A and B are shown apart, each in its own frame.
Chain A
Amino acid sequence: MAEPILSVRGLQTWFHQDEGIVRAVDGASFDLEPGRTLGIVGESGCGKSVTARSILRIVERPGRVEGGQILLRRADGRVTDLARLDGQGREMRAIRGGEIGYVFQEPMSSLSSFHTIGNQLIEAIRLHAALGKRAARERGVELLSLVGIPRPAQRIDSYSFELSGGLRQRVMIALALAAEPRILIADEPTTALDVTTQAQILDLIRRLQDERDLAVILITHDMGVIAEMTDDVVVMYLGRDVERGPVDAIFHEPKHPYTRSLLRSIPSVLATPRSRLRTVEGSIPHPYNRPAGCPFHPRCPDAMPGLCERSLPGAVALGERREASCFLHEKPASGATAPVPTLLEPRA
């Protein structure tokens, strides 16, 4: 197992509101290895997007990174804890868009309609590299052609509203790659797109990753996209990672009852026509009514009364790259939670 390029440990991002504290992310841990794709999957409110925004330090008020570590291995081998940096500071601004590129779901609202895509590209390129305007423009045209935009030399002068959804998402990817990042975070990059366009964009991400040896964090609610695209998977539920592992193991030997229920309930094109689906009981709790103990226990088919509603299970190591946070996997004798090894230590 390669040394991770990004290691998130016990991340907590909370939103302080008048009605109380929403613990959007409350103890998420995972590792991203160089050149691999990590999928973060979960349903609405599981904290997957807030996790991405926490890594980039762009959580909006009243949200705040409250605890945990976000350890980034820099190009020179140093390790920086992003959780301790000033979100608006010079170092974080250099990392965001520089070492870590990002693509969001809504290409319409992420691009300005007042500037041409060329202006936005050139700005992004010059923010992170000492290039003149002309050189930056040439680089911009190169990037547009890299992401498969036809006639890039002409398209660079168009506005985002003149482009289709698929082309806009390609522009977003070009922007994300402008500073040659080593990590790409893509948050639901294809959710707003039609299925044939989705296939084009996923293909593009896969090709760019292979060519540039990018480490990719792909955030989605779609188990199909996870299965097709990722190497490793983190399953999140109500702000916690409930299970982690290689993609094949997650789909074929799921260890956490939530992962199992989720996999059984997804409609598939391989199913028998008109077959009924297995369902997960109940629905996702409101963030103010977070269940005590294991957050999944009210919906869990395997919940153990007297245990699961009282205490919170810790992550149990189940082999290389494999963990589940569930009492089913704890050794009854020891009772104690297996410690989560920290793979990177920040050099203060």
Chain B
Amino acid sequence: MSAAVPVRPTAVAPTILEVENLKKWFPIRRGLLRRVVGQVRAVDDVSFTIRRGETLSLVGESGCGKTTTSRCILRALTPTSGAIRFRTEAGRQVDVAVLPKTELRPLRRQMQMIFQDPFSSLNPRMTITDIIAEPLLVNGVRDLEERRRRVRELLDLVQLPAAYMNRFPHAFSGGQRQRIGIARALALNPALVVADEPVSALDVSVQAQILNLLLDLQDRLGLSYLFVAHDLSVVKHVSDRVAVMYVGKIVELAPTAAIFARPLHPYSEALLSAVPVPDPRRRRQRIVLKGEVADPSNPPPGCHFHPRCPYAIDRCRGEEPALRQLANGHLARCHRAEELSLGGVQEGGETRAPKVRAAAH
């Protein structure tokens, strides 16, 4: 384990992706005429940047818009509005949000995706070679020998024996399949990799192998990751910065160490507090939020979090807070961010003794 956190070179690296005021609203249609009666604001005014070689994680609970955001960036969904500026290999900046379909294709080589479910994301009728080589074939690598050479290289990169080349996916475990999915994503030398819950379907002992592999590949190849996850423990092991989303909006964005040690938004605090810590000597007094996540088609007025927020005041009910920079690189969307002193998780943080239950029954 590293003692001191070295300053990662990414802090000064050029920006590769710039998302600005991204919105994705889904219309709700009703009736015979399919009239639009409302809008689900899945992503509502999201802005962030990713530098070369950096990992930004989007975290939040189901329905917060983290996956929709990542799908807009890959243009699997067309955004309602906003800009997604991507710096290409050639150094040109293009807006993925408005690019015509014909121009998207060459760009897709540079942005790839790793999927959550290693069982449904690999075609069971294709050999490993065919699966990994498919993006090469699609992108005009005609020579079979050339493709096979590249597949061997990629398998080596994800630490799978080249002897597996001609097997089918069913012969592999979940962790090995996820390695195959990663090899496929890297086949075209992408600059940005979007990983949507890449380890949440895996067993704990295998999860660690894949997380380490993702970190190694990033260091070797200078990849940028947009990491979408709900598990804050996993996020802490891979991220340089973390963006917390709630009902379609980023409520806090900060360097990893800062947001875990001292969150500035009450929702981040509650989220951190809810994570079970794998140490019975550190049982904590949890902040248990009341109620449920707001409906993105009918969010509450003011701050979307106010009905569940233990610190809410009148102002929060009427006035929507803006995402403000409060410390170096630390942004939060809360009226009371300066006055509140919220708790995070830290070595030697708050603890509660394990409940002593009378063994004498």
Q: Do A and B come from one complex?
A: yes
Interface positions of A (Cβ within 8 A of B): 1-2, 33-36, 43-44, 164, 166, 194-200, 202-203, 221-231, 247-248, 251-252, 261-263, 265-280, 283-284, 286
Q: Which of B3-29 contact A (CB under 8 A)?
A: 5, 8
Determine the residue in chain A with the shortest Cβ distance to B358. Answer: A35
Determine the residue in chain A with the shortest Cβ distance to B352. Answer: A228
Among B205, B234, B361, chain A packs the most CB atoms within 10 A around the CB of B205
**Known contacts A223-B204, A228-B276; is A273 also within 8 Å of B5 by CB?**
yes
Q: Which of B207-221 contact A (CB under 8 A)?
A: 207-209, 211-212, 215
Interface positions of B (Cβ within 8 A of A): 1-2, 5, 8, 55, 61-62, 173-176, 203-209, 211-212, 215, 230-234, 236-240, 256-257, 260, 270-283, 286, 288-289, 292-293, 345-347, 354, 357, 359-361
**Docked-complex contact B212 and A277, CB < 8 angstroms:** yes
Name the B residues within 8 Å of A36 (CB-CB).
357
Can you offer 19 A-B residue contacts whose CB atoms are under 8 A? A2-B360, A195-B232, A196-B288, A197-B292, A199-B274, A199-B288, A226-B278, A248-B281, A252-B281, A265-B207, A266-B208, A267-B211, A270-B346, A270-B347, A271-B237, A272-B2, A275-B1, A283-B205, A284-B206
**Docked-complex contact B61 and A194, CB < 8 angstroms:** yes
**Docked-complex contact B5 and A267, CB < 8 angstroms:** no
Question: Closest Cβ of chain A: how far from B251's Cβ, in Å?
Answer: 14
Q: Tally inter-chain residue pairs, CB-CB below 8 A.
A: 174
**Docked-complex contact B271 and A227, CB < 8 angstroms:** no
Name the B residues within 8 Å of A267 (CB-CB).
207-208, 211, 231, 233-234, 236-237
Question: Closest Cβ of chain B: how far from A325's Cβ, in Å?
Answer: 18
Name the A residues within 8 Å of B359 (CB-CB).
1-2, 33
Determine the residue in chain A with the shortest Cβ distance to B360. Answer: A2
Name the B residues within 8 Å of A226 (CB-CB).
278
**Docked-complex contact B278 and A266, CB < 8 angstroms:** yes
For the complex, give the distance between the alpha carbons of A284 and B145 in Å. 34
- The answer, among B5, B208, B274, B361, for a CB contact under 8 Å with A33, is B361
- The answer, among A44, A273, A276, A283, for a CB contact under 8 Å with B176, is A283
| Chain A residues touching B, majority SS | loop
Question: Closest Cβ of chain B: how far from A41's Cβ, in Å?
Answer: 10
For the complex, give the distance between the alpha carbons of A195 and B270 in Å. 10
For the complex, give the distance between the alpha carbons of A261 and B207 in Å. 13
Name the B residues within 8 Å of A195 (CB-CB).
61, 230-232, 271, 274-275
Question: Closest Cβ of chain B: how far from A335's Cβ, in Å?
Answer: 31
- The answer, among A35, A200, A203, A266, for a CB contact under 8 Å with B361, is A35
**Docked-complex contact A283 and B206, CB < 8 angstroms:** yes
- The answer, among A231, A273, A274, for a CB contact under 8 Å with B357, is A231
Name the B residues within 8 Å of A268 (CB-CB).
233, 236, 277-278
